[in-house]
Amino acid sequence: MAEQRTGYVIASDDPGHMGMTLFMVDRSKQRKSFWSNQLTDVLVYQDKDAAKEKAAALKYNSPIVLDWNEAKAALRINTSIAGK
């Protein structure tokens, strides 16, 4: 059975690839980058207000807060764009 997750992630447009979404990485899981187009090492907030506060503090590419299901939908779009 597929893993069921809940929570909120911070996402942003990928300035290098039109239509793709980047997700903020949990730096305790990997230190190579701050953003990823995958959900494997993403930073998941359980509190939406905390996620919004962090997103508001970020300066570039208009970051937004997505719930887990919205993030999975954005990942499907990333996958379809990458596959073209």
pLDDT in tens, 3-46: 558 999 999 998 888 889 999 999 999 899 999 999 999 999 99
Banded pLDDT at 2 (limits 50, 70, 90)? very low
Classified as helix, coil or strand, 70 is helix
Mean pLDDT of 60-67: 94
**Residue 1 pLDDT:** 38
Locate the domains of the chain by residue range: 8-82
Burial of 49 (0-12, 13-18, 19+ CB in 10 A): exposed
pTM more than 0.85: yes
**Residue 3 pLDDT:** 57
